[in-house]
Structure 1
């Protein structure tokens, strides 16, 4: 039994049942990104025709990439209060949220508060007015730089200008934006590049927002570092579990399942204090089918769905989409593609991967205790790994066996030893 909740504590218990379909809207809806250009259209409405598909897949939430007015790819925000004209209007967004609500789908937005686009109008006004102006408090600017004021940028990207997270005005802005869209019906936020901001900033801002929205869920993008310490200091609900993501694909690709076991041991410790957000793909990484092939693109989510966490399925992974992330201008485009106009237009070669995802998500939803499950190794060598996932309260458990010595073999068994799901794919000899 869970400990009683303090009356003042946030109530995000609903997240234990959440499985997200993660969509990058600018790509999904076919909006022009590079060059962006003025191309206003209600493209966001294309998602309306895919909500029943999401429900049939088995997910119960839509995690949306950036939808706010931006210069190009969505992470160079120009206005946090306006839907990107390439996607449509506020009415289009409201209709999408209402359609999600009608189907029992929750909605989480992607908020970029580490930085903004270099063309943000408030930055232009701040640079024109000087360091004493109110808007200058929002930005991290070297006012004494040779040649004139120089905004500090995010990780070397000249088009991304850092906000000043030491100033109350920035905290007020972020809290207001978070609250504004929560009032419009969303359920939470993914906080982009949360790792680049002092975690105390998130503790202050999200704490303020939770007073009015105690059921809001906050996910921080954290790649490296001490996840547990970051969550404790930031008081966010979750962080992106990149350690497990890396261990999943590389242990399978390199036939070294010791790496996965090590990652799951660390994952157990994270689960003692918070529930990480887990994934085998997202908008920033090479597609799992490009890394492991079509059968590997089933094996990886099979393992993911049997360990603790809040699982995300990146759109297209459930169809076996391929795409390689490259470190160049436009290097994300291959992993952020447009979807067809309707599910009926999907290519038939993705049906097997899709069917497996539906089965695995269904299994996950029939065993909701898996959200906080711990794992322990039963047998382990380089190419064969058997682990037991067990609930933290009571005797519920599943046993998972992965044998990748020759082909892809994964079996999920119930407490009595009967097989609940199985993958048997022999090596491709072609």
Structure 2
């Protein structure tokens, strides 16, 4: 068994490949159609053999599951749907036996409306100490004399970001803030109870052996003082839409406030007190790479997701711009092409054989870059986005006009067999989200041992990447990035990655020059230089 990817004495996360496990959809151990922690544990050898260094697991804490675990009612226990606390301990122990690190999801921006704190706040009423842990406010009287929400903020799910608590004869109904679902009230991080509680939560899981935390909505903990209206340009909507990347920080009093950085400086010190290079990564949808860099300063978090890479169109020129902008300011970059909130890249890049070819090329290009990479479960199988029938959708955003929901990238993994549930669990029926009948050839079993399958290709890519990084020793060679609107060339010492995003092959003379005195290590398509193809070349 090979050791996780490292370069010299660098921490494991700096160059590692992390595999995202969406807990509901990875592996079901008890046949109820929903993935669980024992299911993940049983499949850890698959991840080790795939060649990743760590896994990030989405929330498995006690939750009403209104937002599939991102609405937490108890941060110190496992939801019975996913197992029990001892199952989390078993998973950590087995992962560490296999040389895998484990990152768990932390949700600090909001709790479930069923969390004891929020239930106490509702019972205590206006002006109570219990309500000060959340953002309760009186309404605002509009020009028509009718009371409305305290400001114009819009939920990421649907409608105003405020819900009114029912009033009675003795109590005017206050409103509470929820930037996401109504069942996810935002915490007030100015209240001392909140940071103190999350320090206890962090220590609880670090003491159990987790290697890192992924911080959900890391840019959203604090809101601008006074909770002012969002100032909009003429014709601009307050609706945040699908991506916060397009929003200007000056227009978003609910996002990316400077106080978050003091929290993460404290968490940096907390993590540093534990052995084993513990780490934290921010989910921060911010406009510019400079904003990403703010989260990964030397005394703050170790990483932040680089969603600009994910959001780039299929274009060598666009990829080059993201690479240059990111590397100019971010000291420990991450690269990601998909996750449980966005359309799967095979579909996003055009679908079918075209989308698969482009995804393979994008992945090979991404893995040539310095830094770490995150892979969403099922990407290694080439899974496309699924059009889940409307009556079977379960995402709380599924029926919001213009959003479409996120169920299509969350359909459970196909492991084996010729029909659903494809070995996902011991049952015979469809799992919690239905798997397509045409996934037979995409399962792990169907692709294992097949030389030209996507799965075996990804295994080979990760193995070669490990060897290349080992060849760098304790230092990373200087990076050079160049290209044209349709060609991207990345040089890291002897390694050259060439990407062609055009719909035609490069010319013969250009290809000869590219391959001169070099060995082709990997190619995402049939031949180097073909349309929608990336190639790794090692020069003498």
* 1:376 aligned partner: 480
Equivalent residues of 1:299, 1:408 under 8 A apart:
no
Equivalent residues of 2:28, 2:35 under 8 A apart:
no
Equivalent residues of 2:296, 2:332 under 8 A apart:
no
Question: Alignment partner for residue 193 of structure 2, among 169, 180, 183?
Answer: 169
| Post-superposition offset of 1:199 | 2.0
Equivalent residues of 1:323, 1:334 under 8 A apart:
yes
Q: How has the CA–CA distance of structure 1 residues 377 and 427 changed in structure 2, closer, same or farther, with 3 Å as cutoff?
A: closer
Q: How has the CA–CA distance of structure 1 residues 167 and 185 changed in structure 2, closer, same or farther, with 3 Å as cutoff?
A: same
Stretches of structure 1 that go unaligned for 5 or more consecutive residues are 1-10, 33-38, 391-395
Answer yes or no: is 1:154 the counterpart of 2:179: yes
* 1:92 aligned partner: 87
Equivalent residues of 1:76, 1:160 under 8 A apart:
yes
* 2:407 aligned partner: 333
* 2:348 aligned partner: 291
Question: Alignment partner for residue 402 of structure 1, among 493, 499, 513?
Answer: 499
Judging by fraction of residues, say which structure has more helix.
1
Answer yes or no: is 1:48 the counterpart of 2:45: no
| Post-superposition offset of 1:182 | 0.7
| SS of residue paired to 2:497 | strand
Question: Alignment partner for residue 319 of structure 2, among 237, 242, 260?
Answer: 260
Q: How has the CA–CA distance of structure 1 residues 311 and 403 changed in structure 2, closer, same or farther, with 3 Å as cutoff?
A: same
**For 2:133 and 2:27, how far apart are their aligned partners in 1?**
32
| SS of residue paired to 1:20 | strand
**For 1:177 and 1:12, how far apart are their aligned partners in 2?**
28
For residues 112-138 of structure 1, what are the alpha-carbon distances to aligned partners after superposition, in whole Å with 9 as ceiling and x for unaligned? 101112222220112212466554342
Question: Alignment partner for residue 274 of structure 2, among 208, 213, 221?
Answer: 213
| SS of residue paired to 2:43 | helix
Answer yes or no: is 1:358 the counterpart of 2:459: yes
| Post-superposition offset of 1:103 | 0.3
Equivalent residues of 1:200, 1:234 under 8 A apart:
no
Q: Which has the larger radius of gyration?
A: 2
| SS of residue paired to 2:490 | strand
* 1:319 aligned partner: 381
* 2:441 aligned partner: 348
**For 2:299 and 2:195, how far apart are their aligned partners in 1?**
14
**For 1:234 and 1:149, how far apart are their aligned partners in 2?**
39
Could you tell me the TM-score, scaled by structure 2's length?
A: 0.66
| Post-superposition offset of 1:200 | 2.8
Answer yes or no: is 1:19 the counterpart of 2:17: yes
> CA RMSD for the aligned pairs?
3.2
Answer yes or no: is 1:281 the counterpart of 2:382: no
Which segment drifts farther, 293-302 or 362-371?
362-371
Alignment of 1:49-64 (within 5 A): 49-64=42-57
Q: How has the CA–CA distance of structure 1 residues 415 and 181 changed in structure 2, closer, same or farther, with 3 Å as cutoff?
A: farther
Q: How has the CA–CA distance of structure 1 residues 374 and 28 changed in structure 2, closer, same or farther, with 3 Å as cutoff?
A: farther
| Post-superposition offset of 1:48 | 2.1
The total of aligned residue pairs comes to 394
Equivalent residues of 1:22, 1:63 under 8 A apart:
yes
* 1:231 aligned partner: 296
Which segment drifts farther, 416-425 or 335-344?
335-344
Q: How has the CA–CA distance of structure 1 residues 79 and 414 changed in structure 2, closer, same or farther, with 3 Å as cutoff?
A: farther
Judging by fraction of residues, say which structure has more strand.
1
Which segment drifts farther, 138-147 or 76-85?
138-147
Q: How has the CA–CA distance of structure 1 residues 407 and 104 changed in structure 2, closer, same or farther, with 3 Å as cutoff?
A: farther
Stretches of structure 2 that go unaligned for 5 or more consecutive residues are 1-8, 141-146, 148-171, 222-258, 350-354, 388-394, 424-438, 448-452, 533-540
Q: How has the CA–CA distance of structure 1 residues 158 and 176 changed in structure 2, closer, same or farther, with 3 Å as cutoff?
A: same
| SS of residue paired to 2:495 | strand
